Amino acid sequence: MALPTTLTLEIVTPDRALAREEVDEVVVPGSEGELGILPGHTPLLATLKVGELWYRQGRETHHLSVAFGFVEVLPDRVTILAHVAERAQDIDIERAERARRRAEERLEKPSAQTDLDFERARIAMMKALIRLQVASRARTRV
């Protein structure tokens, strides 16, 4: 069996199907570390963390922010089931900035804090940071 030369990348969230494209390379934020996937990858099922996902078509790269979910890899296709996913150019920077500040405040204020609150704030912080980072890629790429 010849190795496939491209991957069919599908990104879906509960709200919509975000992408369905032929790509050459995908890098996803797995919960145990970044995963670089090229065509012909061995079947893999992994969970995602909050992070940056990018894929390459020829010389063009696209960036997305994703948060939680799963990735299924087969030799010729990659399916991302993300809880949240956004393309870099769709990210609302102001909103992300606000979310970052809110999370920062919550993290700094130690009063009446349960572990759960802290964990939530930490995740919110991470999401905001990643979104900002991904958004900045969209701008520098031009």
Partner 1 sequence: MPSLIDLRRRIRAVKSTQQITKAMKMIAASRLRRAQERVISARPFAQRMRQVLNGLVSRVEQDAHPLLRIPVPGVGRPLLIVITADRGLCGSFNSNVIKAGGQFIANEGQGRAIALGLVGRKGRDFFRRRGFDVRYERVGLFQHLSFADAAEIADVAIEEFTSGNASSVHLVFNEFKSVMTQRIVVEPLLPIPRIEEKAPVAGPAVDYLYEPSPEGIFKDLLPRHVQVQVYRALLESNAAFFAAQMTAMDAATRNSAEMLESLTLYMNKVRQAAITREIIEVVSGAAAT
One of 8, 25, 30, 133 touching partner 1 (CB under 8 A): 30
Tell me whether residue 95 or residue 141 sits nearer to partner 1 (CB atom).
95
- Asked if 14 touches partner 1 (CB under 8 A), the answer is yes
Size of the site for partner 1 (CB under 8 A): 24
> In sequence order, what are the beta bridge partners of 27?
36, 54
3-state secondary structure of 98: helix
Whole-number minimum distance, CB 141 to partner 1, in Å?
27
Contacting residues for 107 by C-beta, under 8 A, at least 6 apart: 118, 121, 122, 125
Candidate residues 6, 31, 57, 61; the one interacting with partner 1 per rule CB under 8 A: 31
- The candidate with the shortest Cα–Cα distance to 88, out of 79, 78, 96, is 96
Interaction between residue 70 and partner 1 (CB under 8 A): yes
Q: Which is nearer to partner 1, 28 or 137 (CB)?
A: 28
* Cα atoms in the 13 Å half-sphere on the side-chain side of 141: 14
Per CB under 8 A, 79 contacts partner 1:
yes
The string of DSSP codes covering 62-96 is EEEEEEEEEEEEETTEEEEEEEEEEEGGG--HHHH
Of the residues 17, 112, 116, 142, which one makes contact with partner 1 according to CB under 8 A: 17
Nearest alpha-carbon partner for 25 in 64, 60, 65: 60
Interacting residue ranges for partner 1, rule: CB under 8 A: 10, 12-17, 30-32, 35, 42-47, 69-70, 72, 74, 79, 81, 83
